[in-house]
Structure 1
Amino acid sequence: MPIVIGVGDRFRRDDGAGPAVVEALRGRTPDGVTLAVTDGEPARLIELWAGADLAIVVDAVRAEPCRPGHVHEIGPDTALRSGGVASSHTLGLGEAVALGRAVDRMPGALRVLAIEGAEFGWGCELTPPVAAAVEAVAERIVSLLARRRAPQGGRGMA
């Protein structure tokens, strides 16, 4: 069964983008999809996605140059490498992927939707470009999950 994991801290402005996407998905996903929120600590991520056939992780990221609200789709191999996009957390997705692979606790498929944030200080409001991206990412996930469940030649999409 699929899981959507929102990573972040709702009290650190744009870092709350992942949890906001999960909130936006409530009541909109097919039966059997798990919605979860976590702080991004690698062991907690691994426990959430272990055994899932698909894990979609949504997180806010810092990027240089910064384009607030821009969405990156990152695969597990990209998450292992640090580059122009970095998690807003001390330990990030790369560490979770490396550890998950080492202990054989990866999901069947992993998709990461990273939303570039602008403000990560204290506060509960997302900046306008990130708030707009939250709804766009939620729609993208709803569409992905619907396509995945729709039969195509007798098989669903992975």
Structure 2
Amino acid sequence: MLHPLPRSHRGPVVTIVIGVGNDFRRDDGAGPAVVEALRGRVAATLAVTDGEPARLITLWAGADLAIVVDAVRAEPPVPGRIHDLGAETAALARRPVTGHSLGLGDAVALGLAVGQMPVRLRVLAIEGHDFGLGRGLTPRVAAAVITVADRIAASLPSAMKESHPS
């Protein structure tokens, strides 16, 4: 069995933020909206996908930290409520919670089975209200997008290099 090299021997930390969703399904666009809100703010790779497990695995494979942001349905719904989950909890979500045909739990299960998981997986799920056709987030989900983007930005290195006076 191969063991990962200690952090000091592997080079820079690789971080990716993945927004899952569809901008043409109202609140399902929350994940891509968070990624857009992070552009220029964090030193991380930013990506958007439809949530298909093979695409997720390809994006997060080899990362030290993968942060996945997705909109979810909940019963009873509380639009805009944010859930901060780890890989263990995400793996339990074997049935789709959004409009995607397969859920994030399927991607985690498959990634574990083929040894293609990031060192650490964090999932930020935003409860949506309207997943119908159309563009634009509902007000509570739009507010949650800002909160999630700020939370991620605060936890990652800034994209801006610090300036030092000469």
Once the two structures are TM-superposed, the CA of residue 86 in structure 1 deviates from its matched residue by 2.3
Does residue 23 of the first structure (1) align with residue 36 of the second (2)?
yes
Aligned mates of 1:81, 1:87 — CA distance in 2: 15
Aligned mates of 2:132, 2:78 — CA distance in 1: 17
Once the two structures are TM-superposed, the CA of residue 8 in structure 1 deviates from its matched residue by 0.2
Once the two structures are TM-superposed, the CA of residue 88 in structure 1 deviates from its matched residue by 3.3
Aligned mates of 2:22, 2:113 — CA distance in 1: 27
Does residue 50 of the first structure (1) align with residue 61 of the second (2)?
yes
In the alignment, is the contact (CA less than 8 A) between 1:57 and 1:113 conserved in 2? yes
Tell me the residue number matched to 2:71.
60
Once the two structures are TM-superposed, the CA of residue 16 in structure 1 deviates from its matched residue by 0.2
Q: Which structure 1 segments of 5+ residues have no match? A: 148-158
Aligned mates of 1:75, 1:94 — CA distance in 2: 11
Tell me the residue number matched to 1:89.
100
Q: Which of these two proteins has the greater Rg computed from alpha carbons? A: 2
Q: Superposition RMSD on alpha carbons, in Å?
A: 1.7
Q: What is the one-letter code of the residue matched to 1:143?
A: A
Once the two structures are TM-superposed, the CA of residue 29 in structure 1 deviates from its matched residue by 0.5
Once the two structures are TM-superposed, the CA of residue 75 in structure 1 deviates from its matched residue by 1.2
- Tell me the TM-score normalised to structure 2 length: 0.84
Q: What is the one-letter code of the residue matched to 2:100?
A: H
Does residue 6 of the first structure (1) align with residue 14 of the second (2)?
no
In the alignment, is the contact (CA less than 8 A) between 2:17 and 2:35 conserved in 1? yes
Once the two structures are TM-superposed, the CA of residue 90 in structure 1 deviates from its matched residue by 1.6
Q: Which structure 2 segments of 5+ residues have no match? A: 1-13, 159-166
Once the two structures are TM-superposed, the CA of residue 100 in structure 1 deviates from its matched residue by 0.1
- Tell me the TM-score normalised to structure 1 length: 0.88
Does residue 124 of the first structure (1) align with residue 140 of the second (2)?
no
Task: Write out the 4+ residue segments of structure 1 that deviate beyond 4 Å after TM superposition.
Answer: none
Once the two structures are TM-superposed, the CA of residue 78 in structure 1 deviates from its matched residue by 1.0
Aligned mates of 1:52, 1:88 — CA distance in 2: 26
Aligned mates of 1:81, 1:51 — CA distance in 2: 22
Does residue 112 of the first structure (1) align with residue 123 of the second (2)?
yes
Once the two structures are TM-superposed, the CA of residue 108 in structure 1 deviates from its matched residue by 0.6
Once the two structures are TM-superposed, the CA of residue 4 in structure 1 deviates from its matched residue by 0.1
